[in-house]
Amino acid sequence: MIKVTVYRDNNQIKSFELSGHAESGPYGYDLVCAGVSAVSFGAVNAVLKMTDIELEIEQGHEGGYLRVSIPDSVDEGLMEKAQLLFEGMIVSLETIERDYNQFITIQSK
């Protein structure tokens, strides 16, 4: 199962962590894994391209782990852009969770 944890402070996303494997299909045909990967990496790439924020990114060597943190010293305007993009990511992940909740779970802390 993929576990998504979103860490918030004052209702703003400060970081998020994805861990585990969906195992909803054979390797290379796992639609849940592909969807979660596309949504999360797409959001991270959008933030990197559309802002000057240097995100702190940790990845597992064989997949199955991603942690992204937004530094505290981010300009307010850039933070708004990052928040919008990451909130969009969360909405997309929640859509996947709604249809495939046996393979993905999302929680906020």
| pLDDT at 104 exceeding the cut of 90 | yes
- Quick one: angle between helices 76-99 and 31-50, nearest 10? 170
| Residue 87 φ/ψ region, left for φ over 0, alpha for ψ in the -120 to 50 degree band, beta for the rest | alpha
Active-site choice (14, 21, 67, 81): 21
Of all residues in the chain, the percent with pLDDT exceeding 70 is 100
- What CA–CA distance (Å, rounded) separates 1 from 8? 22
**What proportion of the chain, given as a percentage, has pLDDT over 90?**
90
Measure the N-to-C terminal CA separation of the chain; round to a whole number of Å.
Answer: 19
Taking the model in full, what pTM does it have? 0.92
> Would residue 61 show up in a list of annotated catalytic residues for this protein?
no
In order of their start, the domains of the chain are 2-108 (3.30.70.1490)
Mean pLDDT of 36-45: 97
Catalytic residue among 18, 33, 82, 89: 33
Distance between CA atoms of residues 73 and 88, nearest Å: 22
